[in-house]
Structure 1
Amino acid sequence: MTRTRTLGVTAVAGAGALLALGVAPASAADTATVSVLHAVPDTPVDVYADGERLIDDFRPGTLTDPLQLPAGSYDVALFPADAADGSGTPLVSANGVSVPAGANATVVAHLTEAGQPVLTPFVNDTSAVPAGQGRVVVRHTAAAPAVDVRAGGQVVAPGLANPNEAALTVPAGTVSADVVLAGTDTVALGPADLTVTEGATTVVYAWGSQDAGYELAVQTIGGPGSAPSGVPGGTAGLVDGAADDAGLPLPLLGLSALGLLGAGVAARRLATTRA
């Protein structure tokens, strides 16, 4: 059996968990768009939905293509990779998970600042941006304290803590970006040249841990699109610092388990380089 760690994940189930989301316009089809990034180092899993295995050996560093999932209710469970027919106690499960039509989200399996695996859903902003511009979203999903994100040497997202995000609209083109410890010039990730696509949302995820190494993963949503990519990182003392308990709004938490449901179709390995 592939070596794995127990996922200390809290999953939120219940059909009413997503009623407050309010993202589905009246004309939306009865589907939701969900992508999944597996960003827990060294923890492959198998994913089951309604008792059927949908993903075999879902590996860290893997990002799924966007999936159009039928709106409805699902029972989802995650087991250690190569578990026999989903037998035994699941690492995490959620029954009656509600899928609202019209939602667009990326679910990230990652580590908290303290190094505990969790599932965090992020709502993807797909609204229009001005001509010649692109939206950049930075998401802190690494086992690390707060960081500052810099573009062209200037801080554009100060004090970003796990699992928060920061968004800004910038001219389309290439931006040199790096991640430093909050309030310092100590580089933790990068620098890297980030391609900002006109009319698209470019999402950058900082993930990993001091032991496994830190990495950047890039996801492009909308626009012509571009290939996912990664850059090497370092340790930079990122296990130090105080925790920030601020998190995401609760209404989308039901998608945490559901997002893994769609990962069985067209999953692809991110081109990442370990530190």
Structure 2
Amino acid sequence: MNLARIVAAGVGVTGAIALSPTLAHAADAPAAKPAMVSVLHAVPGATVDVYANGKELLPDFKPGTLTDPVSLPAGEYDLKVVAPNAGADGKAIIEANDVKVPAGANITVVAHLSADGKPMLTPYVNDTSALAAGKARVTVRHTAAAPAVDVRANQAVAFKNLVNPKEAMADLAAGNISADVVLAGTQTVAIGPADLSLKAGTNTIVYAWGSAADKNLKLAVQTIDGLGGMPGGVPAGTGGQATAGDSSSAGVIVLGAAGAGALAMLATRRRSRTERA
């Protein structure tokens, strides 16, 4: 699937990352709180190489890859996405110059399919607010080409009627749960079950991604720690949340073309944490 379609899916939508000169300029900017960014590639079949200011950042960035969170100084970046092995001078699939990374941003940018199978970008705000002692947070995000679903914990519905690209979350007692995804209002399992260890002071974020029609639905899991409520701690980001019943999904921002560039470059390390159902 050509990643260029992602740009078309995002054009015309207000961008959360504004345009403005180059990586070198970022070093000259006044000191500001850095952005913490992870990227999940959840568009099946689209492997790309990613460049920032002519330097390769993510070679062979494959579907199912979730990058480690990276602290980026606020500033401006020139971005380019090309086909694998095309090189820095290769024809751009996506190109976004002078992209501004705002100070203090904390997001996981997900390239994924809409409910009807069209590529799209959704950056989610990761809730890193303090947790009470012994508590863990679980967040579920629907990023699959699939209809509404119910998310179950130990076969009991925890999040009801979740639709793409909404998210839901809850703070629970730390412990182990068996999670699965069923078609909304039914017992028909679409993904799972998968065993999750919810550790105290963490936000475990579960992404349902892939395509129901193509029978390649999967789970990806991201864990943010350091949320134990100690003042002066350095969590992985700042808050932002939406619940299953929140139709506005305040923690979700859909980016335009500038966001497509941000998807591709906001990481320098990769770690695949994809869990197959």
Question: TM-score interval w.r.t. the shorter chain?
Answer: 0.7 to 0.9
Q: After TM superposition, list the pairs within 5 Å mapping 1:167-246 onto structure 2.
A: 167-210=169-212, 211=214, 213-223=216-226
Report the counterpart of residue 261 of structure 2 in structure 1.
257
Report the counterpart of residue 229 of structure 1 in structure 2.
none
- Superposition RMSD on alpha carbons, in Å? 2.9
Decide which of 151, 154, 179 is 1:152's aligned counterpart. 154
Query: Are 1:160 and 1:166, in contact at CA under 8 Å, matched by a contact in 2?
Result: yes
Query: Are 1:133 and 1:172, in contact at CA under 8 Å, matched by a contact in 2?
Result: yes
Report the counterpart of residue 8 of structure 1 in structure 2.
5
The answer as to 2:106 corresponding to 1:104 is yes
Report the counterpart of residue 70 of structure 1 in structure 2.
73
Decide which of 44, 52, 55 is 2:55's aligned counterpart. 52
Question: Where does the alignment leave 5 or more consecutive residues of structure 2 unmatched?
Answer: 19-30, 228-246
Tell me, in whole angstroms, the C-alpha distance in 2 between the residues paired with 1:18 and 1:6.
Answer: 19
Question: Where does the alignment leave 5 or more consecutive residues of structure 1 unmatched?
Answer: 20-27, 225-244
Deviations 1:177-230 (A, max 9, x none): 110001111100111211111111110000111325111111100139xxxxxx
Q: Percent identity?
A: 52
Q: How many residues were matched structurally? A: 242
Report the counterpart of residue 34 of structure 1 in structure 2.
37
Tell me, in whole angstroms, the C-alpha distance in 2 between the residues paired with 1:171 and 1:74.
Answer: 41
The TM-score normalised by the length of structure 1 is 0.78
Deviation for aligned residue 1:251: 7.9
Deviation for aligned residue 1:12: 6.6
Query: Are 2:122 and 2:254, in contact at CA under 8 Å, matched by a contact in 1?
Result: no
Higher mean alpha-carbon deviation, 10-19 vs 129-138, is at: 10-19
CA, structure 1 residues 164+251, in 2 after alignment: closer, same or farther (shift >3 Å)?
A: closer
Q: What letter is aligned with 1:270?
A: R
The TM-score normalised by the length of structure 2 is 0.78
Query: Are 1:208 and 1:215, in contact at CA under 8 Å, matched by a contact in 2?
Result: yes
CA, structure 1 residues 111+100, in 2 after alignment: closer, same or farther (shift >3 Å)?
A: same
Query: Are 2:51 and 2:88, in contact at CA under 8 Å, matched by a contact in 1?
Result: no
Q: What letter is aligned with 1:9?
A: I
Report the counterpart of residue 27 of structure 2 in structure 1.
none
Tell me, in whole angstroms, the C-alpha distance in 1 between the residues paired with 2:226 and 2:253.
Answer: 29
CA, structure 1 residues 14+109, in 2 after alignment: closer, same or farther (shift >3 Å)?
A: closer
Query: Are 1:48 and 1:86, in contact at CA under 8 Å, matched by a contact in 2?
Result: no
CA, structure 1 residues 271+14, in 2 after alignment: closer, same or farther (shift >3 Å)?
A: closer
CA, structure 1 residues 111+246, in 2 after alignment: closer, same or farther (shift >3 Å)?
A: farther
Query: Are 1:16 and 1:98, in contact at CA under 8 Å, matched by a contact in 2?
Result: no
Deviation for aligned residue 1:175: 1.1
Deviation for aligned residue 1:71: 0.3
